[in-house]
Structures are given as C-alpha cells and as structure tokens.
Amino acid sequence: MDLGAAGWRQGSVLPRELGADLARRAGPQPLELGERDLVVVVSHDCDVSQSSLEKEPWVELVIVRALDRRPDGGLTRGKNPRLLELEATVSQAPLAARVSASERWLAPRERLAGSVPAGFLQTTPTGIVPAWLSSKYIREAFPDEFNRRRAQAAEDLKRLLRTGGGDINSIYLALDDAELDRTQTYTVVMRGVLLAQDYEVEARRTLAHITLGKLAAVLSTCDGIDVVDFELVSERDFSLDDIRVMKRWSPFDSLSLSDSED
C-alpha cells in the first residue's frame, strides 16, 4: 500500500463521502459534517505513507468546520488550547474555519487506499493545525495562584484578544513559578511575538503593539499582578534563550473553563 504515491500526506482533505463515513464511525461518539465542512489528515507525512499497516494501522483525522465570518482574533494562532480559528485555502479557494481539539479521532489507515485526496488544506501560518493540536499536551503550566488572580480580568482579556489580537502569534511571560501568598505580588515581564512577515507590515505591527499594551495594562489591574515590562518583537528576534526563561501564555486556557462559549 503506497498512500504517499496517491498523494496522501498531512493536510490532505478526504473525499466528501469517505470523510463523512469515517466521521460517523468516529469514537467515542459519531461526528456529523456540515455542507462545507472538511475532514483533514493530521498524521505526520511519514506515518501516512508508511507501507506497513502493521507498523502504522491508524491515521489521525480532524474536522475543519467552515465559518461564515472572519476568524475570531482570540482563537487564532493557538491562543486557545481547545479551539482554533484560521484562514486557509483549499485548491486555491479561500476558507475561514474552526477546528476543535475534541473533533479528532483515529481511523483505519487502510480506508484511504483506493482514493486520492480531494484537495489540500494550506493554512496561515503553515502547519498551524498539527502544531496547535500537539501543544495541547506540552503547553506551559502557570501557578494556580497566578491563574486565580488573572481570572479577575477574564472577560477584558478575551475581548482584547478577539478584537485586536489576530496577528499576535504568541505571548510569553516571565514570572515567579511559586504559589505566592496574598501579601506577595507576581512581577511579570511580557513579550508578544509576531511572525516575521507580519512584523514587517506597519499596520499589523501597530495594532498588535496597541493590543499588547492594553493586555499588559488589564493584567496589571488584577490584585497581586504587576506587568513591569512588555514588548512586541519579531519571531526573528525571539531567541531560544528567551523561550528557555519565559513561558508561552494562553490567556484562554484556564479562563475558558467557566465559559461555555469556549
């Protein structure tokens, strides 16, 4: 079985009938497709094209649901660990879409044999869907006390990200990793990171900088949190050493636990 020769790889879109059938057979519960929804391969290219079914019996699939609006800035670029909204193209046709981490499943890889992909999902940024799915397992953990304090500004943080945070690729924080008592303050350094191509566009850079400043200000209104420094940087200027000493922050992570919308 040579699925690679048939064009199957990460990002391949399943033919409508095959995708709908596999979605109905998904576990732990069946999934239904809307008229414009897609089933997309998220397994790595090497796993998809592996010749041995014994070594790789499964392929991982996810539903990409079409939107009738622009992506929500608070759900782009991996800001929310459970929901992702993105801009993409399929066979050069533009698509705004939402992906849910709960709508992925394993299907028998042999079901792809005898078919060819119906298209290819090209996302912005490239590869954001599998990268976002994998981050659900490796995302940073912040002190419970810090999360409790920042929940005071939950709605304002969400609103800012939804309205002006679409181009911010990631946000990193440096702060004490301990569970501080109520007499102590979390002193925070914040960095907003843009993709290099976005940073070079003045309008995008300006809006992202304004949004980051507002995020820092709102976070500082929380009792026991003080953002003492914030800066917007290009991905080119954010080093491995920066990643070592800072943690990637998902403002929608614990905040979304009490918000049924997320």
Its CATH architecture, for the domain 144-258, is 2-Layer Sandwich (3.30)
Question: What pLDDT is attached to residue 63?
Answer: 98
Tens-digit pLDDT profile for residues 166-220: 888 889 999 999 999 989 999 999 999 999 999 999 999 999 999 999 999 999 9
Tens-digit pLDDT profile for residues 65-88: 999 999 998 888 888 888 999 999
Question: What pLDDT is attached to residue 260?
Answer: 38
> Does residue 254 have a pLDDT over 70?
no
- Domain ranges, ordered by start, for the chain: 12-136, 144-258
Band of pLDDT at residue 262, cut at 50, 70 and 90: very low
- DSSP code string of 28-72: SS-----TT-EEEE-S-HHHHH-S-TTT--EEEEEEEEE-SSPPP
To the nearest whole number, what is the mean pLDDT of the chain? 90
What long-range pairs does 175-182 form, CB within 8 A, spacing at least 24?
175/142, 175/146, 176/143, 177/143, 178/143, 179/143, 179/144, 179/145, 180/143, 180/145, 180/146, 180/224, 182/224
Q: How far apart, in whole angstroms, are the C-alpha atoms of residue 165 and residue 136?
A: 20
> Does residue 129 have a pLDDT over 70?
yes
